[in-house]
């Protein structure tokens, strides 16, 4: 009996750049990444920080050589639109957990505003059990799924802005602008405790990561309908990831030294300072950092 014909696997190709994806609800960040990677037939791809399956919004993805700079977005500020359900507490602090408490809600908008002021600025936050933080080499959510509670220390995090978008009875929509390491689901759970009625994060949409905005993002459906040439046009260059660093143009000799792993001396440097490095023709080379000898040493370079 003849075996049914199978479609040949698409040939992977070298493609470099940054893709801003609008992750849909129901997909893990890794699943969304793999779908985008297949659409681009990319040899290599990675993301810059995950979004839970129930969450939507901005997920910056790095393809090819751009993956070398993904770490620079991990510490970036982020903005969210969070839908908080008052009166119901869940085991995970989000809609995927089991209901562990229900209370009547009698909260005014003024009371909500007062409660929110306590979460603005530098605050202490205990990371949720349902998170990717590691304990004993394993993410906390693995312990949580087995019903194991691990003691977590509060961490200092920053909330730059926290505003009420809408409020009606037991539902409020909040705009959150936070620094690195902040958990919006922990905010929802803590807010419910302060208000005395319990709460959980019912929905979440990430609207900004560092310099990137959701308005710049592409959907998987939109990408799937594009020809390959158009897909490539949707990519941003790798140096967009390190745009906050000072640009340092190099001459031919310094370019040769950096590309061969040799540090270069320049006047008025500060130890630990980082630069975007460029060749004389404007080509992005990578990132350099001033070492203990006061020289700019290569740290992350694109493949020549």
Residues tagged active-site? 52
Residues 6+ apart with CB under 8 A from 276: 239, 242, 243, 245, 246, 247, 248, 284, 287
Residues 6+ apart with CB under 8 A from 85: 170, 171, 188, 199, 200, 201, 202
**189 touches 106 (CB < 8 A):** no
d(C-alpha 187, C-alpha 209), whole Å = 19
d(C-alpha 247, C-alpha 239), whole Å = 10
Element (H, E) at 45: strand 45-47
Instruction: Take residue 30 and report the two structure tokens written for it.
Output: 């890794």
What are φ and ψ of residue 220, in 5° steps? -60, -40
Element (H, E) at 242: none
CA-to-CA separations, 168 to 77, 85, 120, 163, in angstroms, rounded? 28, 10, 22, 15
**149 touches 129 (CB < 8 A):** yes
> Which residues pair with residue 236 across a beta bridge?
18
**216 touches 208 (CB < 8 A):** no
Q: At what angle do helices 109-117 and 184-195 cross, to 10 degrees?
A: 120
Q: Return the ∠ at Cα 20 (arms to 17 and 23), rounded to 5°.
A: 135
């Amino acid at each position: 009996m003849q075996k049914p014909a199978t479609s040949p696997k698409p040939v992977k190709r070298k493609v470099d750049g940054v893709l801003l994806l609008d992750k849909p609800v129901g997909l893990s960040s890794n699943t969304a990444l793999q779908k985008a990677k297949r659409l681009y037939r990319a040899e290599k791809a990675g993301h810059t920080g995950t979004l839970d399956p129930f969450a939507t919004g901005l997920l910056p993805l790095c393809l090819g050589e751009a993956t070398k700079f993904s770490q620079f977005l991990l510490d970036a500020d982020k903005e969210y639109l969070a839908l908080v359900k008052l009166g119901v507490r869940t085991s995970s602090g989000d809609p995927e957990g089991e209901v562990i408490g229900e209370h009547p809600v009698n909260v005014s908008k003024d009371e909500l505003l007062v409660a929110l002021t306590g979460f603005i600025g530098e605050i202490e936050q205990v990371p949720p059990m349902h998170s990717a933080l590691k304990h004993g080499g394993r993410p906390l959510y693995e312990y949580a799924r087995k019903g194991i509670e691990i003691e977590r220390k509060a961490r200092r995090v920053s909330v730059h802005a926290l505003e009420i978008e809408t409020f009606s009875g037991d539902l409020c929509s909040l705009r959150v602008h936070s620094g690195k390491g902040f958990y919006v689901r922990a905010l929802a759970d803590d807010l419910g405790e302060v208000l005395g009625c319990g709460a959980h994060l019912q929905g979440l949409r990430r609207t900004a990561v560092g310099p990137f905005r959701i308005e710049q993002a592409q959907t998987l459906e939109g990408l799937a309908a594009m020809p390959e040439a158009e897909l490539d046009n949707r990519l941003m260059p790798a140096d967009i990831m390190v745009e906050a660093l000072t640009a340092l143009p190099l001459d031919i000799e310094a370019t040769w030294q950096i590309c061969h792993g040799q540090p270069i001396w320049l006047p008025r440097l500060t130890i630990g300072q980082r630069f975007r490095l460029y060749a004389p023709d404007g080509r992005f080379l990578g990132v350099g950092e001033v070492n203990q000898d006061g020289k700019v040493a290569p740290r992350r370079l694109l493949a020549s």
